[in-house]
Amino acid sequence: MDKQRRRDIAREYKERKVPVGIFSLRCEPTGEAWIGMSRNLDGAANSALMSLRLGSHRNATLQAAWKAHGEAAFVYAVVEGLEEDLTPIGREDWLKARLRHWIAALEARPIVA
């Protein structure tokens, strides 16, 4: 691969649009749900699931449910994604407002305890 192609790939990676939004983890047997927000939804899924698998998630009730029911009982879903471009402050305000909305609407717990 030549240098120009490598530069193009690096530039494309840096310019990619990272999905921002609200996500949920739901325990199917109990119906319990935990809601979180992220500036990188792909990374949030990976991080949450990895810490649960390792038994080190910071939300004790979520970790206990995971231990009791196992990984197959949980469903990760993007609840709402941010489609528009906002300033960093606008994005944070949007995330916090939508997190509060979805916690109330789904009668869920926040992922961050």
Q: What is the pTM of this model?
A: 0.83
Rounded Cα gap, residues 99 and 61, in angstroms:
19
Q: What is the mean pLDDT of residues 28-35?
A: 96
Report residue 40's pLDDT band, with 50, 70 and 90 as the boundaries.
very high
| pLDDT tens digit sequence for 55-89 | 999 999 999 999 999 999 999 999 999 988 889 99
Reading the block at residue 3, the tokens are 């240098």
- CA gyration radius, the chain: 17
Q: Is the pLDDT of residue 113 over 60?
A: no
pLDDT band at 53; cut points 50, 70, 90: very high
Residue 14 scores a pLDDT above 90: no
- Angstrom distance (rounded) from CA 39 to CA 23: 11
Q: Give the helix ranges, DSSP H, for 16-108.
A: 41-54, 60-69, 88-105
Instruction: State the sign of the Cα–Cα–Cα–Cα dihedral 82, 84, 87, 93.
Output: negative
Taking the C-alpha atoms of residue 73 and residue 42, their distance in angstroms, rounded to an integer, is 20
Q: What is the mean pLDDT of residues 3-13?
A: 86
Strand pairing report for 21-27 and 109-110: unpaired
